[in-house]
A and B are shown apart, each in its own frame.
Chain A
């Protein structure tokens, strides 16, 4: 996850990266999401290659997503083996500050977070999955071999836990 990624950097770089966060006016507020644009999906997949990961697509304009978010917050607290990446995939790009507010409220302020930042919505969706019509929420379970299991709609977290258990064993 992002935190681990930062720890892998040389110490000098860590302090440079950390500085803007230290100066942020709201200490409790999470950092703004990473802008998700053309090519971001490939970058995201590459960064997590070989590691079982859960990509959760959600949106500020998706009411069921907002209800579900705190449950993901609880799961993150419960399962240190959950490598969770959140992607806010609203059809019209949203204010990044509102995205991070929602995540902070849901206990997901420290999770790796992206938000659609390009109006060319068709292209972003196509890069993720050509057959995805944009419905939210949507969860992708990606194992260490890159095999993707799609959970459309609100995820059954028991299924996610069982999947995580299997990743630990394999």
Chain B
């Protein structure tokens, strides 16, 4: 059976349109997820998790993305995947060679989600049946997971469980809560805890680690007055989320959710690096800021590009002594990925350089590192999936 699975998967991948109509109740076809998220394994294998119309699959490459194996199914049955523009299936390759995939589905037409994880303990040959990340069924979205420096998998997501309770008690409850859980042996994830209530509810969240058992999560928060600016929470220990540290006072007052989430990296010297999108009254566009450590205030925001090029979807990576930053912008015809790097803990950055472009729809640009080299990982409609080595620092 195990041998047959890849072949079944190939057939299914070959007919996305057929699958779309066969399995969805929605007339005219449900909106389609279009993401590819990478992770390098300890042996240099590139793992890629793809969210397709109604399924999640994993492929692997042992030649840095030139060729991929047949897809392995993560979702045994068709699912109503979260196709939101900031949602994505993710994959964590731990130091022991285990894999954890996370993804979310929509439970209903009101965008209430349910986050799942699926584990592989046979080097990606098969995945166990996906399990909910938490027992509560209200709504979870924008789950993200990572292995801390000790190898323990941490997951965080936006969770709406406290909303109905508050409203039943006659109190308003804007947004969602930042929830988290740690992996708990073979059983999956342990108990869920809430780090903070009233975060913005539909932006991706960013994750890095300040040390073993010390995740740092960046997210769009709701500050008083419906100001949707960014904050970082660093854990003091695995069960002790610290206070929120505001990244920047952009003063973006908006009663909606912008579908633009931030990115974070922590360098070996302990410095924090955050990039984000805002349309606030204090500044508009895409920005970067750094902080010296887990407690220091963030420095002044630095603009990336100009607002009339639609700069968006930033992504940061710490790779040894280097920091890498990419984002997407639009030049009137093509979407292009811009790249900057820093070798001095983010104080000075190279001139932005275009490293990829495409003339049709594309996923967010992402970064991953292997054997000391950083790579851009980018899925495009017109040019397929690309893994592009980021060369010598400019």
Contacts and interface: CB of A to CB of B under 8 A. Distances in A.
A126 B310 contact: yes
Nearest to B256: A64
A130 B361 contact: no
A163 interface: no
B254 interface: yes
Given A97-B27, A119-B381, A126-B330, A135 B335 contact: no
A133 B312 contact: yes
Contact of A133 (B27, B28, B260, B333): B260
A111 B215 CA distance: 51
Interface in B71-123: 83-85, 111
Interface string A48-79: 00000000000001111100000000000000
A125 interface: yes
A60 B32 CA distance: 15
A95 B335 contact: no
A130 B309 contact: yes
Interface residues of B, number: 34
Q: Main secondary structure on chain A at its contact with chain B? A: loop
Contact of A61 (B26, B84, B308, B309): B84
Contacts of A96: 28
Interface in A61-120: 61-65, 90-98, 118-120
B25 to A, nearest CB: 10
A24 B351 CA distance: 57
Nearest to A118: B361
A95 B97 CA distance: 41
A55 to B, nearest CB: 18
Contacts of A131: 307-308
Contacts of B28: 95-97
B30 A122 contact: no
A61 B258 CA distance: 11
Interface string B280-291: 000010000000
A121 interface: yes
B187 to A, nearest CB: 35
Interface-central residue, B83, B333, B381, by most chain A CB under 10 Å = B83
Nearest to B252: A135
Nearest to A121: B361
B191 interface: no
Interface-central residue, A91, A120, A125, by most chain B CB under 10 Å = A120
B332 interface: yes
Nearest to B332: A126
B254 A122 contact: no
A120 B29 contact: no
Nearest to B259: A91
A135 B256 contact: yes
Interface of A: 61-65, 90-98, 118-123, 125-126, 130-131, 133-136, 153-154
